[in-house]
Structure 1
C-alpha cells in the first residue's frame, strides 16, 4: 500500500483503518522506546515510510506528555511529514509496557495513529473514535478475549456498526 497516495474519500473510521494486517498481537518490546522503534520498522516495511521519521514522530509527541490514557490503554500518535492519509494500528504487546499513564497501570492495548501534518481534524476525529471505543469497559473485555487478528477486526467493525445504530447513522 502506498501511504503517499491521496485518500480521496477521507473520513476513515478506526474500524476501516484497522485491518488484519494492521493488528499486532504479542509484539515484543521491552519499553516505550523499543516499542516506537518496532512501530517505525512496521510502518517502513508495510507502507514505505521512514522508520526514523515514524519513531521520531511518536517520540516527539510522547515528549509533550504521555499518550497513556489509563486502564491499560495508550494511543501513541504523531503527525508524519509526507504522509497523505491516516494510518492506524492496533497493538497488544507481549508484556505490558509502562506509559506513565494517569492511573499508573502499564499498557496492554494500544492504537497507534499516524496522520498527515495537515490533517488536524482527521487526527482529532480518530482520537475521539479511539476514546469512544476504549471508554467502554465491555469493548475492552471483548478485545482481551480476541485471540487472532480476524477477531480483533470483527470487534472493531461490530462496535462501529453498533455505535452508528445507536446514533441513527445509516451505514458508513
Structure 2
C-alpha cells in the first residue's frame, strides 16, 4: 500500500511549531484519533511509544516513520507532519528530524504493514521529494505534493 492510498488531507500538517519528540508523537496521535474513534489519543500514543522503545523509527536524513499496531481496528491510518525546525529524535544517523510519516495499522496486518513501510521509505529516499516537502508552506500544498509523487 502506498502513502497516497491512505493519507487524507486532514491528517497532513505542515510546519508545525513543536520542539520535542514526545510533543510531536502526541500531536500525531491527536490528529489520528478522528480516524480511529475506537482508540483514545493515549492508546495511540502508547502504540507509538511501545515501538520507539524497541528502537528509534528515525530512519535518517531528517525523516522518521513512527508506527504502531492496534487491536480492534481494521483500517490503516497515516499522518504526515513536518516541523518548523528539526527535532532530536534519536535517528540512526543522529540527525534531527523534520519529516514525520506516522502509521497506525491493525495488529493482524503484519505483511501489509511492512510493505507500506517499505513504500514510504522508498518515496522518502527521493531527495527531490524531500526538498519539496520541506519547502511546503500549507497543509494542502503538502498533501497535494504527496498525492502527485510517483
Structure 1 length-normalised TM:
0.80
Aligned residues: 149
Shift of 1:18: 1.7
> Per-residue displacement from partner, 1:61-93 (whole Å, max 9, x unpaired)?
000000001110000001011121111010012
Shift of 1:153: 2.1
Corresponding residue SS for 1:79:
strand
1:9-20 matched pairs, under 5 angstroms? 12-20=1-9
- The CA RMSD over aligned residues, in Å, is 1.5
Which residue of structure 2 aligns with residue 32 of structure 1?
A: 21
Runs of 4+ residues over 3 Å off in structure 1 = none
Cα separation, 1, equivalents of 2:30 and 2:8: 18
Which residue of structure 2 aligns with residue 42 of structure 1?
A: 31
Counterparts in 2 of 1:30 and 1:143: CA distance versus 1, 3 Å: closer
Cα separation, 2, equivalents of 1:142 and 1:27: 16
Instruction: Looking at secondary structure, tell me which structure has more strand per residue.
Output: 2
Q: 112, 115, 122: which is aligned to 1:132?
A: 122
Corresponding residue SS for 2:100:
strand
Cα separation, 1, equivalents of 2:41 and 2:122: 29
Shift of 1:46: 4.6
1:1-172 matched pairs, under 5 angstroms? 12-48=1-37, 49-160=39-150
Give the unaligned 5+ runs of structure 1: 1-11, 161-172
Higher RCO, 1 or 2 (CA under 8 Å, sep at least 6)?
A: 2
